[in-house]
Structure formats: C-alpha cells, structure tokens
Structure 1
C-alpha cells in the first residue's frame, strides 16, 4: 500500500480516490452509529449497499444521509433482519439467495454489548446468540453470493480480551453470568468465525477478516449507565497507565468505521485474510498486555483449532451444517 492509515483515519481518508461503482455490499446494523457511517462512505464512493436491520422504520430515518450523499451510481436498499431470531435470519438469507445478485463484500457490523442476562428467540444467551450465532447462520447461508475476489468482514472488538469462548457452557447455564464476560465470548466468537470462514473459502478467492473498530460512544453502550461507563473508563486508564500508555480517547464514528472499509475495500486480501485488524492495520498477538483497549489480539481468538471447534459447536446449536 502506498499510504499508511492509523487510529485517527476516517472512512473518507481511507476511501479517498477510490471508485466503488459496480460494487455491491451488504452491511448489518445500519440503523445507527458505525453501520450508518459505513453505508454512507461506501455509497458515497459508488457502491450499492444493502443494509440489514431489525427496525426498518428506525433505519429509514437514520439512513437519509446515506441516500443524500450517494454518488457515482451508489445507493441503499434496506432489508429486515433480526439476528436474535433464527427464523428472521433464515428468511432474510433465503430472500437474498432467491434474488441471486452477488456481493463483493459482506460486513457483519450489528451487535449488542453488556446486556442483562437474557435469551434470544431460540433460547441462546443474548450476546452469543445475537452477535455470533445470528451472523453465523446468516453469513453462511449467503456465502455462495460472495463473489470470487470478495470478502467477509466481522466487526469484533478488543472486548474479546475479556473471555475466550466456552463451548461447554455457551449459554451460561452453569457459569455465573457477567455482562462483559458474555460480551467477550461473543466477540472472540466473531474473530474465530472469520478465521474458519477464511480457511473454508479462500481457495475460491473469498477471504475473511475480523476487526476492532475502536472505542466509540454509540448506541452500543445503551445497556450501561453513565456511572458504569465512567467506572469502566477509569479502570481502562489505570491499566493503560500500568502499561506506560496515555489515557483512553474515544474515536469519532467516521474514525471507528474506517477499519471496516479499509479491511473490506482497501487492504490487500492476503494482508488481512484470516487476521484481526484495528486502527487500519493488521494486529499482532499480544497475550501479556492488561488493558482491553491496548492494541493486539489474544492468541485464542486466532487459534485454528479453536475456530474449527466453535464452528462445529455453532452448527450443533443452530441445527444446521455449512
């Protein structure tokens, strides 16, 4: 690459001079935050974006800016997708398969964070069921639509540092529930899904990668009160100080969405395939650092045996083989 990007790069920075006319992209979760900005940036550079959302009315209002700034043939269509319901997931995927038009990029952006203990419509723990299993079924069902040379990008999180997956007790039936351990499990699952998806599809020219967008103050944190959020940032800053690093700083939404479009459309496929990215570059494995916002990825999140085991467990849980 001729240009280096970093933590403060925005979507417009990384897509500067790039014409995406003729490209077709699917992004989940385009009713707020990173999803809207990701769709806006792609459509503004000519891509046809399909936004998959739980609440169509909310998304119609939130994505007005996407349509206003679409250029060079770019545009946006919305479809209904509730990741917490496999019936909804399968219906959305089946409709796309029936339509038959290919995608150059699929970005699994939607998600929930630090929710109270709960269950999806199918009885899965809310965060694992929504963040991982919903996307697992949806993306696998439309995998054949990803064109050779295309990519799958899983928006994970540095929150994967909170916990590895627990394939013996994925629904916290026996384990004491904590919101961030559950979030960590689901985000580790996002990374592992990309690792195994990449292994299974790279021979046909389709690659997959996962990423951390950065700390962005969006709707994702709606289940945390301000006191809890302040306490989390205070703890993060204490950990960073121990590592000799400066205090945590929020990213803007355009900065947060930059790594998604960089990994999906700008970086070389061999550079990012099967890897974990943040701040518009590929991350190194760092098992020793304390802070959940320090750069780097835990080795368990990239472990190929762990990825295969999660895939098998996920198939068992959803009752479907891919």
Structure 2
C-alpha cells in the first residue's frame, strides 16, 4: 500500500470517528442509567473480572461484592495490585470478598497461568466479565506476535473464556445460568475489520485497530452464545457497551484528550458505566436476551460487517488456530 493511500485511509477513518462519536455522544447525553431492579442476592458465588483494579472495573467489583459475590480480580502485579487492595480497604469490604491474581492480558502465557490458578481453586464461577482493555495505542506486537489492541481487548479474553468454561458450566443451572459479559463499544461502528490481516502487518491504524478488537468481541459473543444455546448449556453471553465514560482511556492520543476536554460534560462517570455492566451481570430482566449487543441496556443491531456470518465463522476459526485450541471450552 502506498504512502498516499495509507494517509487517505487514516484521514477517512479519523473523520468517520469524529462524525460517529459526535452522534453517539449526543445519544449518551440523552440517556439515563437503568436501575438494577430486584437483583438476586449472590452469596457464596464467585465472579471473575479482568482489569478490576480501577475505573469501570473497580466499580463493577464494588457492585458485585455488594450483591454478596466473591470476586477474583485479574490485573498486573505492582501499582495495579496496590491500587486494588487500597480500594478494597477504603471500601471496608469483608476479608476474602476480593482476591487478586496476577494477569497481563497482553501475554497469553499470563492468561493461561491466571486461568489455571482459578481452575486450581476448584470453585464454580457464576460470572466472567471480560473488562480489561486499551484504546488507540501505538503499534506494537506482543511477545506472542499479536497486535496489542487485538490481543488485550479480544484474543486474551477469548482464551480466558475457553479456559474457564468448565467452571462456568459447573456453576450454571437451568434456572440460573452462568453469564459471560464481554465489554464492547460503539467504536465497532467505525467499520474497520481486516479478517486477513488481524495483526495489522500491512497497515496499522490506531482507531481501526480498536474498532476491530471491539467488533471481534461482538462476533465472539454471537458465535459462542449460539454454540451454548444449541447444546442447551447453562451459560449465557452478552456484549455490552458501557457508554462514553470519563476515564484514563482518553489520555492515549491528542484527539481523544481533545474530545474528553471539550465534550467530557456529555460523558457518564465510571460508576455509571459500571452500573450498566452490573445490570447485565445480575439482572433477571436480561435472562432471555443473551447473544446480543447492547447500548444503554437496550438491544442494538451492530453494523452489517459485524453481523456477517462468514466473517464471524472465520474469526472464530482463526482465533482457535492462533491459540492452538482444538475444542473450545470442551464444548
């Protein structure tokens, strides 16, 4: 691809992002947070969340603990771990209600070690929230050779879900299935998805790579939920956009900072974003809405590219190949 062609594509994606983001922001400003009505108390049940040490992740942990759940949080050792335990102490949570296990989503070895550590506990997992993510980062390949946004936002969560599926199946029942919540984004609507170049070896675009990773989460949700439903397994899957949230994700690029500074008053808080996540984690009202993508707690049809069945199937097969998975989750 020529330099001129790359520049044109980057400009086009940037303009498309500005137009769609403005549209979505206006919609966000007009939306309200749906309250969690009559949530089930979940004492003695276990939840797993990636990246639960700050932002939406932390407030999600807080909501789950308040429901009675024990929460296993995966985040990096060092400052991330320290921040988590400081927040736990300040919240005054009961001893043992939150447990930390080291996790680096950019490393598939770390994801495997995290999953194995949970399996070794031999406890049923009622809820898995694939929350950790990065946005608009410079081009980088992980040590596994994967583009970083694709690895952290999607591929690592694909692997973790595969590893923990046996525990989710054990915890779920016909009356109360286990749940998997995949955090996606309206950014999928930017329409960037290179199924034949998922690692961006031909051309890298920060915005496009983020869009691609969030599109992948929606496609993953659809295919996995269909497999589980076909086999009458007691696990349900949801893809959720938590909203435009005031968070440190908007510090990666000058244009993200500009949007945050000029239009941040339209954003929701991290706690409000977490309320949407907790709604799908615990609300009985969404029990039969599995397999869908949601914005503001409402079912929304993703763009046609994401709904393409051939692309969904090829992404699934490619993901299994990249991770050397012969039978996903033992299904």
The TM-score by the shorter chain falls in which range? Answer: 0.7 to 0.9
Q: TM-score, normalised by structure 2?
A: 0.80
Matching of residue 182 in structure 1 with residue 209 in structure 2? yes
Q: Please identify which structure carries the higher helix content.
A: 2
Tell me the alpha carbon deviations over residues 70-102 of structure 1, each in whole angstroms, 9 at most, x when there is no partner: 668981101111111111111111121222211
Q: 1:160: which partner in 2? A: 188
Using the size of structure 1 for normalisation, the TM-score is 0.82
Paired residue for 1:249?
A: 266
The answer to whether structure 1 residue 298 and structure 2 residue 320 are counterparts is: no
Matches within 5 A, 1:117-266: 117-146=139-168, 147-148=171-172, 149-174=177-202, 176-202=203-229, 203-225=232-254, 227-230=255-258, 249-266=266-283
Name the SS of the counterpart of 1:143 in structure 2: helix
Who is 2:14 aligned against? none
Q: Say which of 81, 84, 95 aligns to 1:59.
A: 81
**Aligned runs of 1:273-284 on 2, under 5 Å?**
273-283=290-300
* SS of residue in 2 equivalent to 1:106: strand
Q: For 2:273 and 2:183, locate their aligned partners in 1 and report how far apart those are by CA, in whole Å.
A: 11
- The answer to whether residue 129 in structure 2 is matched with residue 89 in structure 1 is no
Q: CA deviation at 1:150?
A: 0.3
CA apart distance, 1:116: 0.4
Q: CA deviation at 1:277?
A: 1.0
Equivalent position SS for 2:223: helix
Could you say if the C-alpha distance between residues 50 and 67 of structure 1 is closer, same or farther in structure 2, counting changes exceeding 3 Å?
A: farther
| Match 1:318 to one of 283, 301, 323 | 323
SS of 1:312's equivalent in the other structure is: helix
Matches of 1:17 and 1:136 in 2, distance apart? 28
1:74–1:94: structure 2 CA closer, same or farther, 3 Å change rule?
Answer: closer
Counterpart-to-counterpart distance in 2, 1:46 and 1:231: 38
Note if contact 1:44-1:70 (Cα within 8 Å) is conserved in structure 2.
no
Q: 1:98 aligns with which of 120, 123, 143?
A: 120
Alignment CA distance shift 1:67-1:46 (3 Å): farther
Whether contact under 8 Å (1:120, 1:126) holds in the other structure is: yes
Structure 1 63/161 Cα, relative in aligned 2: closer, same or farther at 3 Å? farther
Question: Displacement of 1:17 after TM fit?
Answer: 5.9
CA drift at 1:224: 1.8
Q: How far, CA to CA, are the matches of 2:306 and 2:279 in structure 1?
A: 21
Q: Report the Cα distance in structure 1 between the residues aligned to 2:281 and 2:236, rounded to whole angstroms.
A: 10
Residue aligned with 1:272, SS: coil
Matching residue of 1:309:
314
- Which 5+ residue runs of structure 2 have no aligned equivalent? 1-29
Deviations 1:126-158 (A, max 9, x none): 101111111111111111111221011100111
Contact 2:191 2:303 in 1 (8 A): no
Query: Number of residues paired by the alignment?
Result: 290
Query: Corresponding residue for 2:72?
Result: 50
Q: Which residue of structure 2 lines up, in the alignment, with residue 38 of structure 1?
A: 60
Give distance in 1, aligned partners of 2:325 and 2:39.
Answer: 42
The 1:67/1:18 distance shift into structure 2, 3 A limit, reads: farther
Q: CA deviation at 1:16?
A: 6.5
What secondary structure sits across from 1:152 in the alignment?
A: strand
Contact 1:131 1:187 in 2 (8 A): yes
Query: Is the CA contact (8 Å cut-off) linking 1:259 and 1:277 kept in structure 2?
Result: no
